[in-house]
């Protein structure tokens, strides 16, 4: 028997098995039928269903418009006072960081618990510098730039904690 004859027979057998499966296959129910029943929509007429869909569409559009709308800006007339000179009324002032926040961020940058001793900080700093040193990431300029920025932040955090823990 040739290879082509064998392949032809296998294809015919596969086709016959697919035809047998297709003849016993039942068509699935309408997937929306369960949803209609679950939400009580199977009792509605077509007109009532259309009205319900339109109502839901309008409700979604109203929520979307409210979310995308810019926040109202206070005016001098509505606030009752004049805005201070030299300051734009674009929003709240940025919060200044306290020295405690800077120390907490430094510990987090070096991936050590807050209050760790200097030896733990130094070991973590050295391990992170070995891992993220820019010379190890020279395969692409983007990775090298990111590694440089990260090592600069690690160095700043280490120097801050060094001053704090040794001084």
Identify which of 7-11, 44-48, 55-59, 91-95 has the greatest average pLDDT.
Answer: 55-59
Using the predicted structure, report yes or no on whether residue 82 has a pLDDT greater than 90: no
CA quadruple 77, 82, 87, 91: dihedral sign: negative
Average of pLDDT values for 134-144?
Answer: 88
Return d(Cα 8, Cα 14) in angstroms, integer: 10
Q: Residue 35: its pLDDT value, please?
A: 61
């Amino acid at each position: 028997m040739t290879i082509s004859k064998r392949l032809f027979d296998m294809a015919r057998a596969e086709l016959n098995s697919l035809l047998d499966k297709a003849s016993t296959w039942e068509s699935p129910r309408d997937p929306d039928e369960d949803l209609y029943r679950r939400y009580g929509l199977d009792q509605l007429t077509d007109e009532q269903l259309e009205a319900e869909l339109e109502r839901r569409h309008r409700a979604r559009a109203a929520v979307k418009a409210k979310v995308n709308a810019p926040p109202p800006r206070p005016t001098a007339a509505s606030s009752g006072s004049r805005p201070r000179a030299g300051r734009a009324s674009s929003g709240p002032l940025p919060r200044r960081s306290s020295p405690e926040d800077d120390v907490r961020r430094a510990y987090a940058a070096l991936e050590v618990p807050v209050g760790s001793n200097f030896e733990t900080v130094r070991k973590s700093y050295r391990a992170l510098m070995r891992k993220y040193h820019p010379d190890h990431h020279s395969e692409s300029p983007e990775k090298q730039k990111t590694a440089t920025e990260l090592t600069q932040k690690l160095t700043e955090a280490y120097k801050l904690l060094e001053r704090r823990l040794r001084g």
